[in-house]
Amino acid sequence: MSVTVERCNTPGDLLHGLVRDGLAELQAVVERADRTLPRFVTREIEGYLRCGDPREGFAWLVCGDCDHHRLIPFTCKGRGFCPSCGGRRMADRAARWVDTLLPRVAVRQVVVTVPWPRRWLLARKPALARGVLAIALREVQRWLQRVGTSQRDGQTGSITVVQRFGSALNLNLHFHCLVLDGVYVEDRVTGQVRWHRSRRWTTEDVEGLVVRIADRAEAWLARQGFGAGAVDEEGEDDALSLIQSASVAGRSAVGGGRRAKRVQVLGGRAFQLPPLCASCDGYTVHAGVVIGARNRKGLEQLCRYIARPPLAKERVEALPDGRVRIQLKRAWSDGTTALELSRLELVERLMALVPPPRANQVHYHGVLASRSRLRASVRPTPPKAKKRPATVGRRLSRRPPRKSRWRAWSDLLWRVFGVVGFGCPGCGHAMRLRTVVMPPATLRVLTSLSRSARCQRAAYEIHPGGTQRDPPSGHPMGSSRGHPKGSSRGHPMGSTRLHSLK
């Protein structure tokens, strides 16, 4: 009997260790300062530390042809910063938007940012963030109606993702909006819906748009009691407010208030706004990315981009002195390519990115909203199913499927990477679900599988104390760097390693 353990987002990786050590230091500092952390933040961190741990439960698959067993641990399903769960959610949303929601018309990405003092306020108060977003989208629709298409009765639609992070893991709340580049007009006599494409955007159009957004957003915030100089005094004993305000400024809240050390390799250069981008009083609008009606693959890539998680494991590097280096996606204008943080500062920034409970991070407006009368008329026809292996799209549960938006894990793996999720690593045939193991039975099952191995040196062991041991470098069935053909190493749903017990 051979056993494969799918180590997805395993608690033994680098990021888990950094978060575990940094959390202990931060809790000690917060207790000495006589402050507390919100329960939703600690629950998110604790859930991430258990993500991918087989001791917390797993699905047990078995191949009836070659008697191969496969264990798939459960994930935390967090919505804060978990790379594995965030990657799966990213792929799921992008596939659903492209297949069932976004019509086959041109789509433009409109990125709206707010002044730095406002970002902390909107991050603390989701209702204010929704209000500023509604003002920005209302101005975009008015421009499309009066200038872009000259169709005063037309309606557009949008999908907005509220991103709370910047490239340096700082709290940087801004809005990524996928706006239909035109309007739909309904004939009042026949009821037929017709599409009118907007004319080409210019930088002058964006400049006028950002001025109107800045003026009306500041006036609306002033009416809500948050004019210039207003301070949110809620939660004096809440340590998260200090952490978030420091994260906005790129500083450490409990580490002396210093900025992160920058790693520079290039000389500084003057910053210049790109085309179709304008700024006014700290508000910025960028509308330079547009996807054509026929480029559905490019549209799905754009959807993945705006729905991506804050951090990828490949960007994290441990330094010999105990600090952490975070590689930036691209160099800044002053030549900064990476940031060096302590473990305490890393956990601070990750905590600041956790969204508050019952605060939606995805918003639908216009004809794409759930209650829109035109939504059924503009939605695309689902594409025909392409030829794929029989195991793709299978459900783990034996219960009959219910109508829902949920996509099978194997379906996403095949769509993004061309990997067969439920194929046997040994013979390639379909595997079936044997059972779902939950604590406290997990340790007994894992220990039993380890003892039943024919080889004395098991490729993957979990001891009661929680330690894990990888196989030696010369092990024939489970080198820690060995990935069988068709494995999904490097995919955004989590780094996957396949190890064997023979």
Residues 243, 108 share a domain: yes
Residues 409, 368 share a domain: no
Residues 425, 291 share a domain: no
Q: DSSP letters of 255-317?
A: TTSPBPEEEE-S------PPTTEEEETTEEEEEEEEE-TT-HHHHHHHHHHHT--S--GGGEE
Q: What are phi and psi of 466, to 5 degrees?
A: 100, 0
Residue 469 has pLDDT above 60, yes or no: no
Q: Strands 324-327, 336-341: parallel, antiparallel or unpaired by DSSP?
A: antiparallel
pLDDT score of 499? 33
Residue 127 has pLDDT above 80, yes or no: yes
SS3 call for 386: coil
Q: Strands 362-366, 336-341: parallel, antiparallel or unpaired by DSSP?
A: unpaired
Quickly state the pLDDT bin for 128 (edges 50, 70, 90): very high
In the chain, % of residues over pLDDT 70: 76
pLDDT score of 242? 63
pLDDT score of 125? 92
Quickly state the pLDDT bin for 249 (edges 50, 70, 90): low
pLDDT, tens digit, 9 for 90 and up, residues 166-198: 988 889 999 999 999 999 999 988 889 999 999
pLDDT score of 91? 94
- Domain assignment present for residue 137? The answer is yes
pLDDT score of 413? 83
pLDDT, tens digit, 9 for 90 and up, residues 68-91: 888 888 889 899 999 989 999 999
Q: What is the 3-state secondary structure (H, E, C) of 162-207?
A: EEEECCCCCEEEEEEEEEECEEEEECCCCCCEEEEECCCCCHHHHH
Structural domain that includes position 226: 103-259+270-311+345-378
Q: Which range is least confidently modeled, 53-57, 97-101, 441-445, 458-462?
A: 458-462
Residues 212, 63 share a domain: no
Residues 248, 198 share a domain: yes
pLDDT score of 354? 93
Tell which wins on pLDDT, 391 or 110: 110
Residue 317 has pLDDT above 50, yes or no: yes
Residues 427, 358 share a domain: no
- Domain assignment present for residue 335? The answer is no
Residue 299 has pLDDT above 80, yes or no: yes
Most confident of 204-213, 337-346, 471-480, 486-495: 204-213
Number of structural domains in the chain = 2
- Domain assignment present for residue 34? The answer is yes
Rounded to an integer, the average pLDDT of 221-236 is 71
In the chain, % of residues over pLDDT 90: 46
- Domain assignment present for residue 87? The answer is no
- Domain assignment present for residue 384? The answer is no
Q: How many CA atoms lie within 13 A of 358 on its CB side?
A: 1
pLDDT score of 101? 95
Amino acid found at 170: N
- Domain assignment present for residue 40? The answer is yes
Residues 128, 31 share a domain: no
Quickly state the pLDDT bin for 207 (edges 50, 70, 90): very high
Quickly state the pLDDT bin for 326 (edges 50, 70, 90): very high
Residues 115, 35 share a domain: no
Q: Please state, in angstroms and rounded to a whole number, the distance separating the CA atoms of residues 138 and 53.
A: 46
Residues 109, 189 share a domain: yes
pLDDT score of 35? 87
**Which is nearest to 160 in space by CA: 124, 136, 184, 128?**
136
Rounded to an integer, the average pLDDT of 61-67 is 83
Q: Which range is least confidently modeled, 44-48, 352-356, 460-464?
A: 460-464
Residues 248, 278 share a domain: yes
Residues 278, 236 share a domain: yes
Rounded to an integer, the average pLDDT of 218-224 is 94
- Domain assignment present for residue 364? The answer is yes
Residue 236 has pLDDT above 60, yes or no: no
- Domain assignment present for residue 318? The answer is no
Q: Which residue has the tokens 């500092």?
A: 29
pLDDT score of 471? 35
Residue 483 has pLDDT above 70, yes or no: no
Residues 407, 280 share a domain: no
User: What is the DSSP-derived secondary structure letter of residue 431?
Assistant: P
pLDDT score of 264? 47
pLDDT score of 336? 87
pLDDT score of 377? 93
Count of CB atoms situated within 10 Å of the CB of 216: 15
